Amino acid sequence: MKDKNHPKKPCSAYICFTNAKRPGVCAAQPDLPNTEVMKVLGQMWQAEKKRAPYEKQAAADKARYEKEMAGYVPPPATEADKKKKKDPSAPKRPRSAYLYYCEAERAAVLKKHPDYKITDVSKELGPAWQKLSAKAKAKYEKLAAQDKQRYDAEMASYTPPPPRDASPKRKAGKAKKAPKDPNAPKKPKNAFLFFSDAKRADIRSAHPDYKITDVSRELGSLWKSMSAAQRAPFEKQAQAAKAAVAAG
């Protein structure tokens, strides 16, 4: 569970710049979609030669963060907070209304803008969701509520595996797991990880308020919606990485 008292992470120079310039861009072009606003801000940042004020703001915010972190005492970890190995038989977590909306509207956005990249689609859907009326959101919230009921029902009959402490003790004399070899070849990344590395920054730029889990969900949703042709460049990178590891 996130600690509400945890110091807020510092803003980068780019975020300080966009926070300062976004109102002006929106005022000058009020009909500009959020995706286009982000593109304009990105171009402005690339052309900006006087970055010192924003870098100074970022440095000050970083100093604020480090000072707050120095005095921050995290709450004691509970059993629920400890990392557990995911149970493959556990009920699938319920989807949010926003994810249902994205699944319903993604194809329409791609049809209207066939030249859009996956990240462009995400940038389009986020602001569109924010602008939806409560009435328009109702059907997606209903689907989310139904999925939540499904999840609750499955959880009611779900029996999680016993914790490690409750498992039978190892037999005496059983060999311990060998320590990890620091010189062993690094496992190659799969296609999804290459995709995530390429698109994570774009999603953070489009949704600076997203948490790490929100970014991960968005990346997973985008990956599932991609065609084989769209995945091909990342599959190719994964194959090359695998071949490199095999070649030693």
Instruction: Note the pLDDT tens digit of each residue in 71-127.
Output: 888 877 666 655 566 778 888 888 888 889 988 998 888 888 888 887 788 888 888
Minimal CA–CA distance to 235: which of 184, 187, 186, 188?
188
| pTM attached to this predicted model | 0.37
Contact present, 41 and 21 (Cβ < 8 Å): yes
Q: Is residue 230 part of a domain?
A: yes
Q: Over 80: is that where the pLDDT of 2 sits?
A: no
> Are 129 and 193 within one domain?
yes
Q: Is residue 83 part of a domain?
A: no
Q: Is residue 135 part of a domain?
A: yes
Q: Is residue 78 part of a domain?
A: no
> Interhelix angle for 212-225 vs 191-206, to 10°?
120
Q: Is residue 110 part of a domain?
A: yes
- Residues 59-83: tens digit of each pLDDT: 999 888 888 888 888 877 666 655 5
Q: What is the CATH number of the domain that holds 43?
A: 1.10.30
> Are 220 and 113 within one domain?
yes
- Residues 24-39: tens digit of each pLDDT: 988 888 888 888 888 8
In the chain, how many domains are there? 2
> Are 38 and 112 within one domain?
no
Determine the pLDDT at residue 53: 92
Determine the pLDDT at residue 159: 81
- Binned at pLDDT 50, 70 and 90, residue 52 comes out as very high
Q: Is residue 177 part of a domain?
A: no
The boundaries of the domain holding residue 19 are 13-70
Q: Is residue 179 part of a domain?
A: no
> Are 223 and 150 within one domain?
yes
Determine the pLDDT at residue 164: 63
Q: Over 80: is that where the pLDDT of 1 sits?
A: no
> Are 134 and 235 within one domain?
yes
> Are 126 and 62 within one domain?
no
Determine the pLDDT at residue 236: 92
- Residues 189-248: tens digit of each pLDDT: 889 999 988 888 888 877 777 788 888 888 888 888 888 888 899 999 989 888 887 776
- Residues 148-188: tens digit of each pLDDT: 888 888 888 778 777 665 445 555 555 666 676 666 667 88
> Are 149 and 229 within one domain?
yes
> Are 120 and 228 within one domain?
yes
